[in-house]
Amino acid sequence: MRFLSISAAVLASVALVTADLSKIVRVDPASQQFIDANGRSRFFHGTNMIKKVPPYHADINQFDPGYSLVDRDIQVLKDLNINSIRLGVQWTGVEPVRGQYNQTYLDITGTIIQRLQDNGIYALLDQHQDVWAPQLCGEGAPDWFVQPGWVIPSDMMPVPQQSTPFAVDANGMPSAADCDSIDWSTSYLDYAVGNAFGRLYNNYDSLGDAWALYWKTVVTNYHMLPGVLGYDLMNEPWVGDHMADPTLLIPGRADSVNLEPLWNKGTAQIRTVDNTTIVFFEGVTFDILSGFENVPGGDGTHTAQSYHYYKPPQLGSVETTIQNRITDATRLKTTGMMTEFQFWGSDNATLALILEAAQMADTYMQSWQGWSYEELWSGDNYSLPLAQIYARTYAEATAGVAKTLYFQDTTAKYWVSWIADTSITAPGLIRIAPNTYYPDGIRVFFVPAGTGTYTMENENVVQLHYTSTAVTGQTIQASVQPYFPTDIIKSSASTGFCMDNSNAFVNPNNPIIIWGCSSSANQVWKFKNGTISLAFDPSHNHDTFCLDTQPIASKTYFSAVLNPCQAGSQTQQWSVNAAGNIINASNGYCLDITGSTYKAGTDVITYPCSGNPNQEWILPRGASGTW
Ligand SMILES: *[C@@H]1O[C@H](CO)[C@@H](O)[C@H](O)[C@H]1NC(C)=O
Ligand SMILES: *[C@@H]1O[C@H](CO)[C@@H](O)[C@H](O)[C@H]1NC(C)=O
Ligand SMILES: *[C@@H]1O[C@H](CO)[C@@H](O)[C@H](O)[C@H]1NC(C)=O
Ligand SMILES: *[C@@H]1O[C@H](CO)[C@@H](O)[C@H](O)[C@H]1NC(C)=O
Ligand SMILES: *[C@@H]1O[C@H](CO)[C@@H](O)[C@H](O)[C@H]1NC(C)=O
Ligand SMILES: *[C@@H]1O[C@H](CO)[C@@H](O)[C@H](O)[C@H]1NC(C)=O
């Protein structure tokens, strides 16, 4: 009896954990949204986990920064607020000897997928490759794929990138040092690389069939796991034998001539085992618009184009690339997902580009996975500025077709709107990273008011429920906001001006001025427990710098300044009255725009309350009275 009740509890908890990892069952081509088994639209934020060298899988026993999947990694993935991983399931790991599949490798990969699933994270299984095989200074395909004598000796790697071929060992492998001496991306243009891809596409020695059977093996092992989001047939496929047929280099041509038939072949094998899971397919990386005539297997409701944004080879902005891929998806009656974008160069410039990509993905309702988990780590620590971008709030499920997604980076406010479908009983889901953005908890608002309620599935997932007031077909908006009001403070008399921490200097006694409203971090304030603090100072410390006052020599009034927050400091205590006066600084004075001079740079002071408009402010919702 005792034994039985324990197993029932274990079963119940397993059911709870997996309850919301509902299987992604199709794509709605009209909205270009992924749909789960509960009928909800789904969105993914994630990163790539690809182990390109032996043993070709993450370490599941010991922490190894960027290359393991143990408890510490799971905690980091939660802090990153991600719900999906593009996971390399390397062909060379699966089939080290032709026709012999390595069950040990497959089982370890199964453990990884299961571990992700148990923690609410989907896996997109990826046949990752770069420059195909070790004989070509690349990786992905098994060692047995490339055979000696496929190209004449004088055309071997890396000709014509360099005129002299590298020396090779008895197994035909060039040395690591030689391979490191060339630019890997340029080596796609080499004779030997084009030749190998050509043989894959024209099924020389049944190599295309072998690739398709690798996929069947992968799918047979994992298709029953609801956490499997999809199968990404091949990372960044090359065009084929461009030396024999240079027209393959014409954008779009290789997609239809070479890739599409192989994608159909792989999908046919996958579909003998699994008719549900989404097949992701890539075009040639330098294509601006895809040249496919149809999606793999012909059914766009179970496919998605997996696309990347790097510049080069893409020419325009990330927005242009996303627009082009939406055009592709519209023509092919399917959807797409940005599965890699913009390397991080450990600098602010690339950080800004990564943020731009994440913002554009919201604007166009695209799911994304960044490159890559390993890049986040530097030694034993991961990059906080990069993690902050990953951790942005997002709707991962809407109970109805989503219409808009928007996260405001400076205030951590999030809005999602969707067309209600009250026949969907599973809750909408919003992912949050409390440690990064909501240290004091959240508030949730619905518009129209009263159409929804919320519960927490766990500290990272907000569940949105319809009330009986919600009507199918109406647009509902939900907003997740920091528990304490957070926003700009506008002058009431001259609404173009906002209270501004001068020059964004986070220093003691830094002056507070008025400046044109910009919503930048030095204008966003948090109202908490009677204090007004900078909501997000550049180091993203919370509640560390507060609005304060400072005596001015030979004056009876005070200057408004920024100072380190001090518990119990009277000069840092404020309240707001019905007129919009921000009162006190220990003496009942009001915050005041000096001399009613409405121009950028005018000092804010505290002055005896006068009833004049230069002391009236428009404050964020919830910041009236005391807070
Ligand atoms: C099979 O996979 C395991 C786990 O990665 C590895 O230790 C072993 O060497 C592999 N076997 C072969 C033949 O590659
Ligand atoms: C998938 O659908 C095809 C076509 O209807 C069918 O032939 C095949 O048996 C199905 N596969 C599975 C695993 O059900
Ligand atoms: C990046 O920006 C931050 C905040 O503005 C600054 O403190 C830091 O020095 C910058 N880092 C680099 C490498 O420019
Ligand atoms: C990691 O972060 C800790 C705490 O901030 C710091 O003491 C340590 O030096 C960092 N390690 C590396 C390798 O940067
Ligand atoms: C609010 O401020 C008062 C006075 O500084 C302090 O005693 C109290 O602990 C604060 N409450 C919270 C929830 O921070
Ligand atoms: C104004 O300052 C006085 C004196 O320190 C204090 O008792 C009072 O609570 C303050 N008023 C407000 C509205 O903060």
- pLDDT tens for 303-358 read 999 999 999 999 899 999 999 999 999 999 999 999 999 998 889 999 999 999 99
> What is the position in ligand 6's atom list of the atom closest to the CA of 587?
2
Cα 607 to averaged position of ligand 3 atoms, centre (Å):
37
Average pLDDT over residues 222-250: 98
> What is the position in ligand 4's atom list of the atom closest to the CA of 381?
1
> What is the position in ligand 3's atom list of the atom closest to the CA of 348?
1
What sign results for the dihedral spanned by CA atoms 514, 517, 521, 527?
Answer: positive
Ligand number, closest to the Cα atom of 377: 4
Average pLDDT over residues 424-453: 96
Over 80: is that where the pLDDT of 490 sits?
yes
Q: What angle do CA 215, 219, 222 make, to 5 degrees?
A: 140
381 lines ligand 4 (CB under 6 A): yes
> What is the position in ligand 4's atom list of the atom closest to the CA of 380?
13
Over 90: is that where the pLDDT of 585 sits?
no
> What is the position in ligand 5's atom list of the atom closest to the CA of 568?
5
- Cβ contact 123:229 at 8 Å: yes
- For atom 8 of ligand 3, the residue with the nearest CA is 348
What's 612's DSSP letter? -
Give the C-alpha separation, 32 to 34, whole Å: 7
> What is the position in ligand 6's atom list of the atom closest to the CA of 573?
14
pLDDT at 423: 98
Ligand number, closest to the Cα atom of 384: 4
Over 50: is that where the pLDDT of 15 sits?
no
CA 25 to chain centre: 21
Query: Omega before 439 cis (within 30°)?
Result: no
Instruction: Single out the residue of 548, 570, 546 nearest to residue 561, CA to CA.
Output: 548
- Cβ contact 27:33 at 8 Å: yes
Percent of the chain with pLDDT over 90: 89
- For atom 6 of ligand 2, the residue with the nearest CA is 272
pLDDT at 539: 67
Over 50: is that where the pLDDT of 558 sits?
yes
> Which positions ≥6 away from 62 have C-beta within 8 Å?
68, 70
CA 447 to chain centre: 26
- Cβ contact 354:318 at 8 Å: no
- For atom 14 of ligand 2, the residue with the nearest CA is 275
> What is the position in ligand 2's atom list of the atom closest to the CA of 275?
1
Ligand number, closest to the Cα atom of 109: 1
Cα 83 to averaged position of ligand 3 atoms, centre (Å):
29
- Cβ contact 137:87 at 8 Å: no
- Cβ contact 537:506 at 8 Å: yes
> What is the position in ligand 5's atom list of the atom closest to the CA of 528?
14
pLDDT at 519: 81
Average pLDDT over residues 145-171: 97
- For atom 2 of ligand 4, the residue with the nearest CA is 381
Give the C-alpha separation, 24 to 169, whole Å: 46
275 lines ligand 2 (CB under 6 A): yes
Residue type, 292: F
Ligand 6 surroundings by CB, under 6 angstroms: 570, 573, 575, 583-584, 586-588
Cα 53 to averaged position of ligand 1 atoms, centre (Å):
12
Binned at pLDDT 50, 70 and 90, residue 626 comes out as low
Cα 571 to averaged position of ligand 6 atoms, centre (Å):
8
Cα 381 to averaged position of ligand 4 atoms, centre (Å):
6
Token pair 């964004």 is at which residue?
A: 504
Torsion of CA 613, 615, 620, 624, to 10 degrees: -100
Segment 34-73, tens digit of pLDDT: 999 999 999 999 999 999 999 999 999 999 999 999 999 9
- Cβ contact 532:547 at 8 Å: yes
Specify the range with the lowest mean pLDDT, choosing from 156-160, 161-165, 576-580. 576-580
Cα 386 to averaged position of ligand 3 atoms, centre (Å):
12
Cα 54 to averaged position of ligand 1 atoms, centre (Å):
9
> What is the position in ligand 2's atom list of the atom closest to the CA of 273?
13
Over 60: is that where the pLDDT of 18 sits?
no
Both tokens of 165, joined, read 């071929």
What's 326's DSSP letter? H
What's 442's DSSP letter? E
Give the C-alpha separation, 391 to 382, whole Å: 13
- Cβ contact 521:538 at 8 Å: yes
> What is the position in ligand 4's atom list of the atom closest to the CA of 379?
13
Over 80: is that where the pLDDT of 3 sits?
no
Ligand 1 surroundings by CB, under 6 angstroms: 55, 96, 102, 104-105, 108
Percent of the chain with pLDDT over 70: 96
**Average pLDDT of the residues of the chain:** 94
Ligand number, closest to the Cα atom of 609: 6
Over 60: is that where the pLDDT of 10 sits?
no
What's 201's DSSP letter? H
Over 90: is that where the pLDDT of 537 sits?
no
Instruction: Single out the residue of 422, 418, 489 nearest to residue 447, CA to CA.
Output: 418
Binned at pLDDT 50, 70 and 90, residue 119 comes out as very high
pLDDT at 424: 98
379 lines ligand 4 (CB under 6 A): yes
CA 437 to chain centre: 16
Cα 108 to averaged position of ligand 1 atoms, centre (Å):
10
Give the C-alpha separation, 40 to 421, whole Å: 9
pLDDT at 623: 83
Q: Facing residues of 368 across strands?
A: 45, 338
- For atom 6 of ligand 4, the residue with the nearest CA is 381
Inter-helix orientation angle 2-19/103-118, to 10°: 80
Secondary structure in 3-state letters for 508-545: CCEEEEEEECCCCHHHCEEEECCEEEECCCCCCCCCCE
Secondary structure in 3-state letters for 97-116: ECCECCHHHHHHHHHHHHHH
Over 60: is that where the pLDDT of 6 sits?
no
Q: Facing residues of 395 across strands?
A: 430
Q: What angle do CA 142, 146, 150 make, to 5 degrees?
A: 175
How much is the CA Rg of the chain, to the nearest whole Å?
A: 28
Ligand number, closest to the Cα atom of 302: 2
pLDDT at 586: 74
Which helix H or strand E contains 308, and what residues bound it? strand 303-309
Binned at pLDDT 50, 70 and 90, residue 4 comes out as very low
Number of Cβ within a 10 Å radius of residue 583:
18
529 lines ligand 5 (CB under 6 A): yes
Torsion of CA 348, 351, 355, 358, to 10 degrees: 180
N-terminal to C-terminal alpha carbon distance within the chain = 53
Residue type, 271: R
Give the C-alpha separation, 373 to 84, whole Å: 12
Secondary structure in 3-state letters for 223-278: CCCCCEEEEECCCCCCCCCCCCCHHHHCCCHHHHHHHHHHHHHHHHHHHCCCCCCE
Cα 537 to averaged position of ligand 5 atoms, centre (Å):
21
> What is the position in ligand 1's atom list of the atom closest to the CA of 102?
1
pLDDT at 310: 95
Ligand 3 surroundings by CB, under 6 angstroms: 347-348, 538
Cα 102 to averaged position of ligand 1 atoms, centre (Å):
6
Give the C-alpha separation, 174 to 186, whole Å: 17
pLDDT at 363: 98
Both tokens of 589, joined, read 């004075």
Site to substitute for ligand 1 among 89, 104, 106, 221, most atoms within 8 A of C-beta? 104
Give the C-alpha separation, 236 to 188, whole Å: 11
Give the C-alpha separation, 430 to 96, whole Å: 41
